[in-house]
Amino acid sequence: MPATSPPKLKLLTILLIASLVQSAAAEIISRELLFDDPKYSQVTLSPDGEDVAFLAPNEYGISNVFVRCITCKVTKAVTFEMKKHITGYHWTGVKNIILYTQDNDGDENLKLYKINVTESTPYTPVHTISDRAGVKAIIIDNNLKGDRVLVGLNDENPAFHNIYELNLISNEMRMVFHNERFPAKITIDNDMRIRYVMEEADDGSVVYYRPSERADLNKLTSDNDDWVSYLTVKSEDRPLTMPIAFSKDNKKAYWLTADDTDMGQLTVHDFGYPEKAEVLYKAVRTQIFGVIFHPEDRTVLAVTEYYHKPEFYVANTSILEDIQHLVNLRPQATPMIESTSNDFNTWLVTYTSDIKPFEFFLYRRDAKKAEYLFSTRPELQGKQLNRQVGFDYKARDGLKIQAYLSLPPQAQLLREDQVHGENIELAKMGMLPVQPQKLILFVHGGPKARDFYGFNAFNAWLTNRGYAIMQVNFRGSVGFGKRLANAGNGEWGRKMHYDLLDAAEFAVQKGIAKREEIAIVGASYGGYATLVGMTFTPDVFACGVDIVGPSNLITLLETIPPYWVGFYNDMITMLGADKNTEEGRASLKSRSPLYFAKQVKNPLMIIHGSNDPRVKQSESDQFVDELKKNNIPVTYVVYPDEGHGPRKPRNVLAMAGFIEEFLSDCLHGDVEHFVHGQYNSTAMVLADIKKPSFHRNLHTTLGDGQRVGPAETQWPGLSRPTGRWL
């Protein structure tokens, strides 16, 4: 049923007042301060509210789990891995029991282990739950209250995860769902019973199923007799529609739904009757970013949206004073509730700011007091970091696009009285430098993802080196409604790229950047966007850096991880073509940079991990081979012990060193000294072809919707097909 936001909801607008006072040129911040493993990451609160856990490097630089006793202030390591980094961990419903995961050099086949944090020593055996080669272990459900968790293992068919119940006391594992059909997007209720599975239809829609009356909930199978259709979600509604929770008695189901809205809504219905849903909250500016439930009674407490920054909409006035207290505590930062104790008295809160790393506080509701815990990177205290401004611009077809701009801290800004018209508002926001800047267009991955506000090491690093950074939530990004998300379908290499070109043109027209000093950098889909920019529009970008980007959309689809098979139709909807049809292959080929490699004119760096399960190293190998054949300049760096992007600190540091020198050669920003081998990384430079000069025609009009490069680089005429991921 249609509804507007209930009157009781109160918006707490969290404003960051940006100072436009400029200071002297920023000192060089070393790469080690920015890219070494942070002192605290993946911070969580124990269910009883007595301890905080986090990942941190040990004395050998290997990520391990540490636990801090809140009352006694003692921190100790509880895992003692010496070779493989821990990728994640989970508290459980059994006090002091933690599960943790590792993979094999970035292959994402997670191994799962169990420890008791009170008994763990370097000599205590670790209980192995799953460590089989080629098997990906995932936690399907962990309600933090009982002695069981549900674990998914693709141990029979790599495409589908069987579901096992793990007893945390006895370590007994028993299969509760023999799965030969459904992807691992499985919904569990408060009693850890499987309530929904989902399956794609050929047209890209999704059918949710519930167990049938005849099904044995302790021994489910994929057989049709075990499942009854519950709800069908149209392809265009998929970005907004999903089950998220159950009421305390499991009789009511909470869903995010699209229906006839662009931004979606929070609804609740009696289980089994989705057609009788009641709208609890209708999104205002963006689609719903998060819903906060009370951990005990499972009532809705607050909803968050996220446009430029997070915004709280408080649904239960019992927490209004608490939220207001947190907002007032750090008025120049944005609070987010990371986790709470089961009794809801203790909250772990993080504050996000653009000018300082994340800060963690412990908030006690009964005392209405917040205790500072730590900063994720305390060594950056006092360093001059960049501001980040959220803004909107119009794409050439009129679509509104959200983006972020980060200027170098030392950049002098124009005042409002120095500009006219619409530029007055931009000056008020702190977006207009006195002199145009060297600009890096940093393209996010996904593309069903988005860029966010707040500190990140990449922005802090490159703005410190004198570059402006623009991050664009182009069409195909999620978080801004289904219209924007679906507008990217079939537009890889076309309108999604035009949005980036229009962002660059906006920067040039507003005096933010010089046309001849714009680089494009990105990872995953952002790497693909870099290759598109350097091939399809070779005169636009002075240089580019592609990190784990696909070069051939056909081979990309042919080599996806097996556990992505259940989302294949969503991927072809997103890409706009299917590799299994002649017409589809032609469309995919026409938008694959590999087939246009000889059009690259300006310097290009390519970085890949050999164990990447999402975008195989062959995607970069084949592109570099084409460049070599045509003697086109390229620097190609491969990490044999990494996957979908470097994660190990020594390799991340080396990657930053390579990129920093490359960009300095191209755009002449500041550079910290770097030599290959400096960080004892595993980097292998497989190609380093350079030319002393490049023919460049940098007078192309970026805003020209008909021509975005020289005639030979125009996109072939294509009928618009119909095309999730990276």
Residue 6 is predicted with a pLDDT of 41
| Residue 717: pLDDT over 50 | no
- What mean pLDDT is predicted for residues 478-486? 98
Residue 7 is predicted with a pLDDT of 36
Angle between helices 649-667 and 457-464 (to 10 degrees): 40
- What mean pLDDT is predicted for residues 66-94? 97
Selected catalytic residue, list 524, 592, 620, 681: 524
As a whole number of Å, the end-to-end CA separation of the chain is: 35
Q: Could you read off the pLDDT of 101-159 as tens digits, one per residue?
A: 999 999 999 999 999 999 999 999 999 999 999 999 999 999 999 999 999 999 999 99
Closest by Cα among 635, 698, 624, 626 to 661? 635
CA distance 586 to 590: 6
521 against 691, higher pLDDT: 521
Q: Give burial (CB, 10 Å; 0-12/13-18/19+) of 420.
A: exposed
Phi, psi of 650 (to 5 degrees): -65, -35
For 1-5, 242-246, 616-620, which range has the lowest pLDDT when averaged over its residues? 1-5
Our answer to whether residue 308 is catalytic in this structure is no
Q: Which two tokens stand for residue 420?
A: 């006219």
CA distance 332 to 352: 9
How many CB atoms are closer than 10 A to CB 686? Answer: 16
| Residue 510: pLDDT over 80 | yes
| Residue 554: pLDDT over 50 | yes
| Residue 21: pLDDT over 60 | no
Q: Could you read off the pLDDT of 378-393 as tens digits, one per residue?
A: 999 999 999 999 999 9
Task: Say if CB 161 and CB 154 are below 8 A apart.
Answer: yes
DSSP-based three-state secondary structure for 57: strand
Residue 43 is predicted with a pLDDT of 98
| Residue 20: pLDDT over 60 | no
| Residue 704: pLDDT over 60 | no
Q: Give burial (CB, 10 Å; 0-12/13-18/19+) of 88.
A: middle
Our answer to whether residue 688 is catalytic in this structure is no
Burial string for 432-441 (b: 16+ CB within 10 Å, else e) reads: bbeebbbbbb
Beta strands of 588-719 (E only): which ranges? 604-609, 634-639, 684-689
Angle between helices 525-536 and 495-509 (to 10 degrees): 70
198 against 26, higher pLDDT: 198
Q: Could you read off the pLDDT of 435-451 as tens digits, one per residue?
A: 999 999 999 999 999 99
Share of the chain above pLDDT 90, in %: 90
How many CB atoms are closer than 10 A to CB 143? Answer: 18
CA distance 482 to 696: 39
Our answer to whether residue 644 is catalytic in this structure is yes
**Could you tell me which residues come within 8 angstroms of residue 313 by beta carbon, excluding any fewer than 6 positions away?**
5, 9, 10, 11, 281, 284, 302, 303, 304, 305
Residue 581 is predicted with a pLDDT of 97
| Residue 721: pLDDT over 50 | no
At residue 409 the predicted structure's pLDDT band, cuts being 50, 70 and 90, is: very high
Beta strands of 611-712 (E only): which ranges? 634-639, 684-689
Phi, psi of 584 (to 5 degrees): -65, -40
Q: Could you read off the pLDDT of 32-70 as tens digits, one per residue?
A: 999 999 999 999 999 999 999 999 999 999 999 999 999
CA distance 574 to 726: 11
Concatenating the DSSP letter of every residue in 153-172 gives EEEEETTEEEEEEEETTT--
At residue 705 the predicted structure's pLDDT band, cuts being 50, 70 and 90, is: very low
CA distance 482 to 4: 18
CA distance 329 to 314: 18
Residue 9 is predicted with a pLDDT of 39
CA distance 110 to 130: 8
Residue 25 is predicted with a pLDDT of 56
| Residue 96: pLDDT over 50 | yes
| Residue 22: pLDDT over 60 | no
Q: The domain 388-694: what is its CATH number?
A: 3.40.50.1820
CA distance 458 to 460: 6
Greatest extent of the chain over all pairs of C-alpha atoms, in Å: 74
Selected catalytic residue, list 375, 612, 620, 681: 612
Closest by Cα among 521, 518, 569, 524 to 539? 518
Report how far apart, in Å, the C-alpha atoms of 514 and of each of 466, 532, 540, 647, 703 are: 14, 21, 11, 33, 15
| Residue 235: pLDDT over 80 | yes
- What mean pLDDT is predicted for residues 323-350? 96
Closest by Cα among 292, 237, 289, 726 to 480? 289
How many CB atoms are closer than 10 A to CB 5? Answer: 18
Phi and psi based region of residue 500 (left: phi greater than 0; alpha: psi -120 to 50; beta: remaining):
alpha
Residue 724 is predicted with a pLDDT of 26
Burial string for 71-85 (b: 16+ CB within 10 Å, else e) reads: eeeeeebbbbbeeeb
Task: Say if CB 164 and CB 532 are below 8 A apart.
Answer: no
At residue 691 the predicted structure's pLDDT band, cuts being 50, 70 and 90, is: low
Residue 692 is predicted with a pLDDT of 57
How confident is the prediction for the chain on average, in pLDDT? 92
DSSP-based three-state secondary structure for 123: coil
Residue 155 is predicted with a pLDDT of 98
Q: Could you read off the pLDDT of 595-611 as tens digits, one per residue?
A: 999 999 999 999 999 99
Task: Say if CB 539 and CB 710 are below 8 A apart.
Answer: yes
- The helix or strand, by DSSP H or E, that contains position 426, with its residue range, turns out to be helix 423-428
- The helix or strand, by DSSP H or E, that contains position 101, with its residue range, turns out to be strand 97-102
- What mean pLDDT is predicted for residues 559-577? 95
CA distance 224 to 228: 8
Q: Could you read off the pLDDT of 260-271 as tens digits, one per residue?
A: 899 999 999 999
H helices then E strands: how many in the chain? 12, 38
DSSP-based three-state secondary structure for 717: coil
**Could you tell me which residues come within 8 angstroms of residue 541 by beta carbon, excluding any fewer than 6 positions away?**
441, 518, 519, 520, 533, 534, 602
Task: Say if CB 472 and CB 500 are below 8 A apart.
Answer: yes
- What mean pLDDT is predicted for residues 462-486? 98
Residue 690 is predicted with a pLDDT of 83
